[in-house]
Chains A and B, each alone.
Chain A
Amino acid sequence: MSRSDNPFLPDFSHIYVETGAKSYALANQCLTRFPKAEVVEVPDYKSIFNRPGQDFQTQKKSVKLILAVKKPPFIYKSTDILQDGGFKNFYYNTPILNCLYNCDYCFLQGMYPSANVVVFVNQEDMQSAVEMEMDKRPYPDDPLMLSISYNTDLLTFENILPMTRTWIKYAKTQPDLHLEVRTKSALFSAIQDIEYTQQVLLAWTLSPDKVVKGNEYDTPPLDRRISALKSAMAKGWKVRLCFDSVLVYPGWKVDYLKFLDLIKSEIDGDRIFDVTVGVFRMGQDYFQHIRKSKPESNIYYQPYENKDGVVTIPQVERKSVEEFIRKNLDGFISQERIHFWI
């Protein structure tokens, strides 16, 4: 073996199948998709996912797939950290846990004990729960907005498992359901044959190239994300731009100015649904959990402020981000269509 060879097994070299998940169509679809994978049966997905002592970042070098049956709850009310983008009935669900990308500011490292990806095979149960929740949503005149890509980047999986497609098709049968599909992927091509619907908001997280390369490992470069979202807009889809997290580091304004100039020159602001902006923030428990694992990233070793249990950059920097973004998006999109988590 030479040093240049990658000694790690490819992602999904192993598929752990919960005994109760074996009979589901989605499980069989996954197993067929990876015929060479070692298949290991597990009594309960937690017996592998929740093992003590796992190292998230080491596991990222060879991510395994876990197929499981989700037990209730199937749908969750939005948290303060999650941006609701102005939607009153804002919920999220978890068709998949964990992500194929590895952004160093991602809270999933602190939330889950494992980097392995869990696919819940009983999507129909999640859909029934959505219907029940729609019936009792607090603002009946407004649709229920469901983020299906909260604990993952769902669109990334589309060539492996067409989950986004399944949910979009489902939403079309439920007039009171809206979906937000947040992504950093360039895989709009995988769903471009679907007729657009006003019920679905495709939300692209964009960052300057320096941040993509330095902090958003394994994600597509900025230009590919921009061209994906432009294709979506051209086909009539509602598109949201997310600048989240805006990272503050020496010289950040120079990079973000160039970045916003590129956005303004490439994208028609009038046709964007809205823009959400956030700074680095994380629940203190997740933050401490990540710090304990001694990550390589410098993000976890900066001076932060604890704002009601949320670790974030100091207020003066948060303000500076808000002013900077407002000023530089002036004329591109109206101010009331910019939502901040600051």
Chain B
Amino acid sequence: MNFLFLTALKAEANPLIESYGLIKDPDTHLYTGENISLMVTGVGKPKTESRIQSLFSQYSDFKDTVVINIGIAGGNPNETNVGELYRVNAIYDEDTGQSFFPDILLKHSLIELSLVTVSKGITENRDIYRGLVDMEGSAIFQLLSKQVPPHRLVFLKVVSDHMDVSDWKTLDVTGLIAGHVDTIRSIIVGFEFGDLSDRIILSEEEMDFLNLGMVRLKLTETQQVQLLDYSENYKKRSGDGLEFLNPFFTKAPKSKQERNMIFEQIRQSLSA
């Protein structure tokens, strides 16, 4: 399982970079370690959206990645304590009215709250906001949920204030996150046990092998889909690999007729 942290501020990222010994890749600006990566998105939805769009060209291993958005948030004074870490179970976008729900399948020890994503910092009418308030959550869910199922989208927020701060620079952002690094690490361990990766039947190498065969045999689109189906059926039923198809893929057919004949032989071999 791989983990991708997203934080809005470098100050939020620092305790994680240190704890996991992450190194910055000068080309992608991603911080990476063994199975952990981290990206600083910037503050607010527009910046977050553009950084995530660029992430899609830099990071491709979403099949077994858990995305964790961690950062500070404002909290409703009656529901939250400053300095406490909360798990988000619903995200409402104040501008669009849309709502988003991460699936929480694994046990955890945090109090759950909803999160409202706003465009501007809240300085008045703070009591109308229930739970937590941030400036990135909805954008992260909306974009990442195209790559990652909702059970691998995690939102963790440390309450930095009760929406009553006039000078943000006075907040000890790094200290607020650093106090919860052990809890964050235990959440990651939980995901390692949960086995929540996408299920696959054909490995990446097998897919490359079949794709090569499809090109060489100039298979029609229908035949390509059928070849994948037959290969999956074969592998599920027999548990064996597909190397035995190699001889079929060695030379290009001279005619459609020859191609169809080879394809029929492949079909028969895979249904044996």
* Sample of 6 further A-B pairs with CB below 8 A, known A1-B193, A38-B89, A54-B150: A7-B193, A40-B101, A42-B101, A43-B99, A62-B106, A301-B236
Residues of A within 8 A of B (CB): 1, 3, 5, 7-9, 13-14, 16, 38, 40-43, 47-48, 51-55, 57-59, 61-62, 64, 291, 293-296, 298, 300-303
Whether B150 contacts A294 by the Cβ 8 Å rule is: no
Which one, B90, B193, B200, contacts A40 given CB within 8 A? B90
Residue pairs across A and B with Cβ atoms less than 8 A apart, 19 shown, are: A5-B193, A7-B107, A7-B190, A9-B104, A9-B107, A14-B89, A40-B114, A42-B90, A42-B101, A47-B101, A54-B149, A54-B151, A55-B151, A59-B105, A61-B105, A62-B106, A294-B199, A301-B232, A302-B237
Which one, A47, A294, A301, contacts B99 given CB within 8 A? A47
Whether B101 contacts A58 by the Cβ 8 Å rule is: no
Residues of B within 8 A of A (CB): 89-90, 99-101, 103-107, 112, 114, 145-146, 148-151, 189-190, 193-194, 196, 198-201, 229, 232-233, 236-237, 271
Measured CA separation A224–B232 after assembly (Å): 37
Chain B residue nearest to A13 in the complex (CB) = B104
Residues of A within 8 A of B148 (CB): 53
Chain B residue nearest to A297 in the complex (CB) = B236
Whether B233 contacts A293 by the Cβ 8 Å rule is: no
Which one, B112, B145, B190, B237, contacts A38 given CB within 8 A? B112
Whether A16 contacts B101 by the Cβ 8 Å rule is: yes
Whether B199 contacts A293 by the Cβ 8 Å rule is: yes
Residues of B within 8 A of A300 (CB): 236
Q: Which 7 A-B pairs have the closest CB atoms?
A: A301-B236, A62-B105, A294-B199, A301-B233, A7-B193, A53-B149, A7-B194
Residues of B within 8 A of A64 (CB): 103
Chain B residue nearest to A48 in the complex (CB) = B101
Task: Tell me whether A301 and B106 are in contact in the complex, defined as CB-CB below 8 angstroms, given that A48-B101, A53-B148, A58-B149 are known contacts.
Answer: no
Whether A7 contacts B106 by the Cβ 8 Å rule is: yes
Minimum C-beta distance from A5 to chain B (A) = 8
Task: Tell me whether A295 and B199 are in contact in the complex, defined as CB-CB below 8 angstroms, given that A8-B105, A14-B104 are known contacts.
Answer: yes
Measured CA separation A318–B100 after assembly (Å): 45
Measured CA separation A64–B150 after assembly (Å): 13
Minimum C-beta distance from B222 to chain A (A) = 14
Measured CA separation A40–B131 after assembly (Å): 12
Residues of B within 8 A of A48 (CB): 101
Whether A8 contacts B149 by the Cβ 8 Å rule is: no
Residues of B within 8 A of A1 (CB): 189-190, 193
Residues of B within 8 A of A42 (CB): 90, 99, 101
Minimum C-beta distance from A62 to chain B (A) = 4
Chain A residue nearest to B153 in the complex (CB) = A53
Whether A9 contacts B105 by the Cβ 8 Å rule is: yes
Most buried by B among A55, A58, A61: A58
Residues of B within 8 A of A9 (CB): 104-107
Most buried by B among A16, A52, A62, A300: A62
